[in-house]
Chains A and B, each alone.
Chain A
């Protein structure tokens, strides 16, 4: 695998100043493709979501999907961009078997949206403004599967198989201006930026925004320069970094690698790097060469797009509440403290908590479950909390069972484990695992009698009005019932037995 030497991140930061840039590709969730009426569906049988246009058959012509244009304008507006009054598609020409026409229909020098910005909030609440250069429309390529090699990678493959189902899926590529001044927070900013873009497109409803499915894909550009120098260093472009954690790791790794290269006195090579999640390293792709003469020219088979101001304003009026404003509102609605709310945001469970509250939980219960139970489990499993598959209804059901005294919190946590292990519904798991709280008063009274008899002095104190001493008796009962008793009910019964009113 990688044999690159790297510097420690701290040392790299001491010596160099990182400059970042991102190209985030967002797959739109239109019903059909960008230029053909074939369905835009993930995961179907190979080469079935295609027609003659997607296969680049002789004689075919493209026609633009109106919804894709509207989605692109919405993305532009949400990124505070200007919307071009007039723009065209171009042909980006290169031969590759996943590209059916051997050119990609893409916007080149006339993007539909340009000159915007996105305010990105870091974990400690610092807001960092990322300038957006452009957001342009293009089409996705097909999927290549490399066969015959040991690794399933392109290296060592004997042959490849092509599925064009994804060919022609509408993409919006969001390109930042060079991001300066992030310093040692560059990796964190990288993750936060991509998370913010993902949040925006999901919030707009224009993309399914599932990174694990490639709905949002990030190419990360990194370059270093000595502190104090204005001119940028030579950059590398790490392709297809497809999870938030990977974005952070890839930027960190590239900073460390560049620093080592610069330290050695060698020039950084301007090249494409491939990210490897397993080793958390990058390897060299191909260097930029004369093969990158894309020979762009305006797509003659498509006519220009003219976005009238009326149309743009109509679309603006349909935009949902921006995520940052939504966060403000939710924080107030839920009554969380600054710290509580920031923890929730940083843990990435805002949507989940909102859904859980919508399903019937209180704000504090929802937070307790997600932050107290689920986030920890997700960390252990090395996945995003939302990916664990916990349903809001499950949490509501569990919290109701606790409130009803059917199970206690400790048991509820065990039931959740059971749900995640696929053992069934909470109810079924309580039954199967025999977790129900002992609420048979007869059995409890026996245990209470035994506990009172074992500690007569305490019993006397309680009778004398020192109700706070009751804990020792309750503890004895809980011990005797191996924790399966409802502590509240035990307390009531003890007081009743001793003729004391609390």
Chain B
């Protein structure tokens, strides 16, 4: 298994949308390396013939009938919003063009 380094952590932090200082990246890289090392036996535990289990209890075909249920008012929907305008959630610009 490939070792996990600081650049890897920086990439993962970008994917996960968590800003990290250089110091944090270094610390996290060290901690993750230890953890990743400790779980590596997992990849050797099961052969190709073992199926994966995604759900602990095997249920299938759990559906909802197509019947309208409750809705929020716009006010309720926005009640916890950090910022809003005109009954919509307000977010900063998506592109950086400054």
Residues of chain A whose beta carbon lies under 8 Å from any beta carbon of chain B: 30-32, 36-39, 45-52, 55, 63-69, 86, 88, 95, 97, 102, 144-146, 154-164, 290-291, 293, 295, 298, 300, 302-306
Measured CA separation A146–B97 after assembly (Å):
14
Residues of chain B whose beta carbon lies under 8 Å from any beta carbon of chain A: 11, 14-15, 17, 54-55, 59-74, 77-78, 85-95, 97
**Closest partner residue, chain B, to A68 (CB atom):** B66
Contact B91 A305 (CB under 8 A): no
Contact A39 B68 (CB under 8 A): yes
**Closest partner residue, chain B, to A148 (CB atom):** B93
Measured CA separation A500–B69 after assembly (Å):
78
**Closest partner residue, chain A, to B62 (CB atom):** A303
A residues near B92, Cβ cutoff 8 Å: 159-160
Contact A158 B89 (CB under 8 A): no
Question: Chain A: interface secondary structure?
Answer: loop
B residues near A48, Cβ cutoff 8 Å: 71-74, 77
Contact B87 A37 (CB under 8 A): no
Contact A66 B72 (CB under 8 A): no
A residues near B55, Cβ cutoff 8 Å: 300, 303-304
**Closest partner residue, chain A, to B63 (CB atom):** A66
B19 smallest CB distance to A (angstroms): 13
Give the residue of A146, A293, A304 whose beta carbon is less than 8 angstroms from that of B60. Answer: A304
**Closest partner residue, chain B, to A66 (CB atom):** B63
**Closest partner residue, chain A, to B68 (CB atom):** A39
A residues near B72, Cβ cutoff 8 Å: 47-48, 50-52, 55
B24 smallest CB distance to A (angstroms): 19
B83 smallest CB distance to A (angstroms): 9
Contact A66 B66 (CB under 8 A): yes
Contact A162 B88 (CB under 8 A): yes
Q: List 23 A–B pairs whose Cβ atoms lie within 8 Å, in order of A's numbering.
A: A31-B68, A32-B67, A36-B69, A38-B68, A45-B74, A45-B87, A46-B88, A47-B77, A55-B72, A64-B64, A65-B64, A66-B63, A66-B66, A69-B63, A97-B89, A102-B17, A159-B90, A159-B91, A161-B88, A162-B89, A164-B77, A295-B15, A303-B59
